[in-house]
Amino acid sequence: MNTSPCFRAITAAAVSIVTLTVAGLASSPGYAAAHDTGTGSSVRSGSHPSTKAKHGPRGYLLKFTKNWNHPDRSTLSLVHNGITVKSYRAGSGVGVKDECRSEKGWLPSGTYQVKGHQTNRNSDIKGYAIQLSDKACRPKPHQKSITRDDLFIHSEMTKNGGQGFTEPTRWDGDTDYKSLGCIKLTPADIKDLFSRLNQAHWPKNLTLQVS
């Protein structure tokens, strides 16, 4: 019996689909779309958003993101399993974007180890403070590399974590986001960060990523 070309094409397509299904190569609905390289994600359609971070860094980390237009409006974030838990406005340096300018430039980019934390520090930095490892800066051409040290995440506080009535223990606004290179937060924000890390039992090998 003669059949039309249209019928023969439909029959051939049906046979191909059956063959692929038996071989286990046919895609289920939505699967190919979810794995399309253009989506940037291997999450199936309709899955919970939190699963998108399953291939990201595990555990807790701190992340400082530099604002190249306004250094005193940079951001410090607490991240858990690749998902941002809380972000805070933060500053570093006095507005100088040269990380090799000691006591003026902002924090060098890279990864830092958290060496310790305390709520009653009593030195030039007082109260709540997170100590960071030293970091060599990345020099520009014809510039000498230096190692930035005495780096902390801190605020403006008394040694007991309170607010004094005079400088430098009282937070006075935008100017207090400036530092000699450390990361600075408001007193309320650094206390909130400590509270969240306390609940996480201050994870071992906690790092700070700066970019």
Those residues whose C-beta lies under 8 Å from the C-beta of residue 193, and which sit 6 or more positions away, are: 76, 78, 86, 88, 153, 185
93-115 pLDDT, tens digit each: 999 999 999 999 999 999 999 99
- Please tell me which residue, 105 or 7, carries the higher pLDDT value: 105
Q: What are 2's two structure tokens? A: 């003669």
Cite the residue boundaries of each domain of the chain with CATH code 2.40.440.10.
56-210
54 by DSSP, 3-state: which? Answer: coil
pLDDT at 56: 61
Residue 127 · residue 120 · CB < 8 Å: yes
pLDDT at 55: 55
Residue 158 · residue 123 · CB < 8 Å: no
Average pLDDT estimate for 165-169: 86
pLDDT at 167: 84
Q: Sorting pLDDT into bands at 50, 70 and 90, what band is 52? A: very low
Comparing 40-54, 111-125, 132-146, the range with the smallest average pLDDT is 40-54
Residue 196 pLDDT > 90, yes or no? yes
In one letter, which amino acid is 68? Answer: W
Q: Sorting pLDDT into bands at 50, 70 and 90, what band is 168? A: confident
Return the CATH number of 56-210, one of 3.40.1710.10, 3.60.120.10, 2.40.440.10, 3.40.50.300.
2.40.440.10
pLDDT at 138: 94
Residue 42 pLDDT > 60, yes or no? no
136-146 pLDDT, tens digit each: 999 999 999 99
Residue written as tokens 């924000």?
A: 189
Q: Sorting pLDDT into bands at 50, 70 and 90, what band is 165? A: confident
pLDDT at 159: 95
Residue 153 · residue 130 · CB < 8 Å: yes
